Amino acid sequence: MGIKENLSVVKKQIEDAARACGRNPAEIRLIAVSKTKPASMVMEAYESGMRDFGENRVQELVEKYDEVPKDVRWHLIGHLQKNKVKYLLEKTELIHSLDSIDLAKEIQKRASAAGKVQNVLIQVNVTGEESKFGVPKERLTDFCEAVSQFENICVKGLMTISVRDYTEAQNRAVFEELHRLFDEVKAKELKNFSMQELSMGMTHDFPAAVAAGATMIRIGTAIFGERQYPAVE
Ligand SMILES: *Cc1c(COP(=O)(O)O)cnc(C)c1O
């Protein structure tokens, strides 16, 4: 199957998952994760109407940015190193992976110099695996309070990655926990926070994410096929 067909299958599955739990499918934004795939495949998806694309490496995002129309909205979904922020800010709609105060300081500095406000999500390590990026959930409240001092950052919500071999029920529990944390942070009404987005769910676990309230779903494999070489997570 081609990208166009894959996209309609995925969209249909998102709609079915949304309807099954009484949600409006229009509340859920599909982000096509094009990491390791060429700009020609981004263009194929673009021609089928996709505008939101995700990359986990800055260099790849920046390269593809130059090769596709400017109305593409690029999402940086992977771990972001401080020294890469300067290449990214003009080119990204949303950074999904804010996970340290040092990184927030750098984004603040660059966004302020560029006279813009950068939208971000805070990545949360819900499952507590040591190998995983993200703010441990126990530290999330303190982290959010620290981030709220940065005037050129607007926190739009939270993002998480579940565990590859979890069952549907386990994934569901992870995503519901992120939703609970989202409600908790939102209730604080912090300065420079505008809590609207829950970025969760990938090819193998997105129905559980939809059921738990995801507003952004990041899907690569089901749209573009298996990746030929492992991407850096
Ligand atoms: C690669 C990646 C995805 C998409 O994964 P698939 O399993 O191919 O759908 C989603 N989110 C992040 C953070 C990723 O790195």
DSSP 18-44: HHHTT--GGG-EEEEE-TTS-HHHHHH
Nearest to 227 by CA among 203, 207, 205: 203
Q: Model confidence over 17-38: pLDDT tens digits? A: 999 999 999 999 999 999 999 9
Task: Tell me which residues have their CB closer than 6 angstroms to ligand 1.
Answer: 33, 35, 56, 77-78, 161, 202-204, 218-221, 231, 233
231 — pLDDT class (breaks 50, 70, 90): low
Q: Is 97 helix (H, G, I), strand (E, B) or coil?
A: strand
9 — pLDDT class (breaks 50, 70, 90): very high
Q: Give the number of other Cβ atoms within 10 Å of residue 205's Cβ.
A: 23
Distance CA 47, CA 66 (A): 17
Nearest CA to ligand 1 atom 6: 220
202-to-64, 184, 223 alpha-carbon distances in Å: 21, 24, 11
Answer yes or no: pTM beyond 0.85: yes
Mean pLDDT of 50-68: 97
Which of 202, 217, 232 is the pocket-test mutation for ligand 1 (most atoms within 8 Å of CB)? 202
Indicate which atom in ligand 1 lies nearest the CA of residue 203: 9
42-to-61, 123, 207 alpha-carbon distances in Å: 11, 25, 24
Q: Model confidence over 172-204: pLDDT tens digits? A: 999 999 999 999 999 999 999 999 999 999 999
Q: Looking up tokens 């309807």, which residue turns up?
A: 19
Transcribe 102-135 into DSSP letters. Answer: HHHHHHHHHHHHTT--EEEEEEEE-S--TT--SE
177 alpha carbon – ligand 1 mean position (Å): 20
Give the pLDDT score at 232. 54
Give the pLDDT score at 15. 98
96 — pLDDT class (breaks 50, 70, 90): very high
The CA-CA-CA angle for residues 134, 210, 233, to 5°, reads 30
Give the pLDDT score at 140. 98
Give the pLDDT score at 130. 86
Let me know: does 206 contact 14? Beta carbons within 8 Å. yes
31 alpha carbon – ligand 1 mean position (Å): 10
First to last CA, the chain: 26
Indicate which atom in ligand 1 lies nearest the CA of residue 96: 13
Give the pLDDT score at 57. 97
Backbone angles phi, psi at 163, to 5 degrees: -105, 135
Give the pLDDT score at 228. 82
57 alpha carbon – ligand 1 mean position (Å): 12
Residues 6+ apart with CB under 8 A from 60: 35, 36
204 alpha carbon – ligand 1 mean position (Å): 9
Distance CA 122, CA 70 (A): 26
132 alpha carbon – ligand 1 mean position (Å): 14
